[in-house]
Amino acid sequence: IGNGTEIEITGIRAGEKVHEVLVSKDEARNAIELEDRYVILPDKYPNWNYEGLSGEAIKTNFEYTSENNKDFLSRDQIREMVR
């Protein structure tokens, strides 16, 4: 946001989501965890050999949401990304 831009803080609006589901419990059944991301594999090919993906299966009932994320960016990191 540029200098001098007027900002109005409105708070949470009716129907607005506070947290996003990024990997649902259903998707997690077919997902693997890599060092820096999750990969959701297609249901259609459960035994397919995904070359180059050497991740670990995700635990039962796992769900990845913006609420349980451990790796938040700092303000400085966000500023650097949007420059």
Summarize pLDDT for 28-48 with one digit per residue, the tens.
Answer: 988 888 888 898 888 776 666
Q: Please state, in angstroms and rounded to a whole number, the distance separating the CA atoms of residues 44 and 48.
A: 9
Cβ-based neighbour number of residue 31 at 10 Å: 19
* pLDDT recorded at residue 72: 86
pLDDT tens digits, residue range 60-82? 899 999 998 888 899 999 999 99
- CA 53 remoteness from chain centre: 19
In this prediction, residue 52 carries a pLDDT of 67
Kindly list the domain boundaries of the chain, sorted by start residue: 24-82
